[in-house]
Structure 1
């Protein structure tokens, strides 16, 4: 029994000694090199927070990268300008990469661009990208644009888009009238609808009847 108590006492003493040793080790100060590194890191974080010794950086800011032109007549031409501001404190480089269609012409600060062609924008200044396009596509949705790169890591790629609907100014439904076989002396009539897509109201001020053979037009009336 005494031996058992003695062993238990030694075990408790050893455990207490180990705990003290571990506690002492955890509280031991960092080595000089680690302490120096930690101090330098804290100083750098404080400097960054205060804006000290921050490297000059460009900042590309654009007020809307997508322009919606609503509707335009098929075959017509439109244009729009995008303004890219440099709100940073270092020169901003804006370079042309590509466009989505040959029907879209790209101008950078008034000059036609080539791939990888770019300009430098001083702090507080701006670059102007002008897109000119012709609606050669059939009536329906239209979406084209151009892609640029910059040296602003936060806006390294700019997609400038123009979109909307291409429409016919007016249409006739149906486009052709077929009267079938008509007996001599009998009247036959057909109706068509004139639709206008660019104006709120439409008025027919002139018309021409085209028939096959042309002599049939003499016997037709338009009301």
Structure 2
């Protein structure tokens, strides 16, 4: 017991050097709360809000840069596979921090650049970026579906061979299955429109092919 008291009186020390400076304002605010006997719950709310705002200031530049990796909607062609996301470049991201860094939303000083470099090497960044990649890839797939729905697919089928038309129907059916399986952010009206396109295309084919395609997958 005496040893524990001695340790607490001496304090706890670490060789870790923080990247950001101590925020004297939040410390004063919490100390004032102690002096005024502010409820612990209220102190916790203040501290949680502070760290939430600090985290948002840190993440917003990353979110903004990652969003810029998304191809423009005009680059999405219904007759080509959805375009790929552009590569995440640490150097390019770092260049954005000069004008669009956390200083726009946070007055806290320190080595923000060093903090970002440390974060980009961590498993936390890998997990966060994988999640954002998945979201944006699903968005591209959804936009590709919308592009297909806006085409006159029946007219297209009339200008192509029977084999090409059957191949298109199978691909469209796979798109519908993918949308359901991966929970793509696609509007219900878009899915219904694509189902209607599939039925209309099938009805242009010979009866034997119609029977087979109507039984294949879901229209």
Under TM normalisation by the shorter chain, which class is it?
under 0.3
TM-score by length of structure 1 reads 0.27
TM-score by length of structure 2 reads 0.27
Q: Quick check: which has more Rg, 1 or 2?
A: 1
Per residue, is there more strand in 1 or in 2?
Answer: 1
Per residue, is there more helix in 1 or in 2?
Answer: 2
